[in-house]
Amino acid sequence: MNNHSAGKHKRLALWLGVCALLVVSVFVIVNASASRSGKESSPALFGEIPAVDGADHVRGNELAQKTIVEYSDFQCPACKAYYPIMKDVEKELGQTVRIAYRHFPLTQLHKNSLQASYAAEAAGKQGKFWDMHDMLFERQESWSADENVGDIFVGYAQELGLNVEQFKTDIASDAVKDRVRRDMDSGTAANVPGTPTFFLNGKQIESPRSFATFKALLEATE
25 and 115 part of one domain: no
Residue 50 falls inside a structural domain: no
CB 45 within 8 A of CB 82: no
Cα 176–168–163 angle (5° rounding)? Answer: 105
Would you state the pLDDT for residue 12? 47
Average pLDDT rounded to a whole number, residues 123-149: 97
110 and 19 part of one domain: no
* More confidently predicted of 13 and 90: 90
What CATH number is given to the structural domain containing 75? 3.40.30.10
Would you state the pLDDT for residue 195? 97
Q: What is the pTM of this model?
A: 0.79
Rounded to an integer, what is the distance from CA 144 to the centroid of its chain?
Answer: 19
Residue 221 pLDDT grade (very low, low, confident, very high; cuts 50, 70, 90): confident
For residue 206, is pLDDT > 80?
A: yes
For residue 198, is pLDDT > 60?
A: yes
Average pLDDT rounded to a whole number, residues 160-171: 98
63 and 37 part of one domain: no
What is the layout of strands, in order, in the sheet containing 66-72?
57-60, 97-103, 66-72, 197-200, 203-205
Torsion of CA 137, 143, 149, 153, to 10 degrees: -40
Count of residues making up the chain: 222
Average pLDDT rounded to a whole number, residues 124-153: 97
12 and 96 part of one domain: no
19 and 128 part of one domain: no
Least-confidence region, from 8-22, 64-78, 147-161: 8-22
Positive or negative, the Cα torsion across 93, 97, 100, 104?
negative
Residue 162 falls inside a structural domain: yes
Would you state the pLDDT for residue 45? 58
> For residue 195, what are the contacts with CB-CB under 8 A and spacing of at least 6?
71, 72, 73, 76, 78, 79, 104, 106
User: For the chain, what percent of residues have pLDDT higher than 90?
Assistant: 75
Would you state the pLDDT for residue 11? 54
d(CA 80, CA 75): 8
203 and 172 part of one domain: yes
Would you state the pLDDT for residue 18? 43
Residue 1: give the domain boundaries: 1-42
73 and 32 part of one domain: no
H helix or E strand, kind and range, residue 191? none
Positive or negative, the Cα torsion across 92, 179, 74, 116?
positive
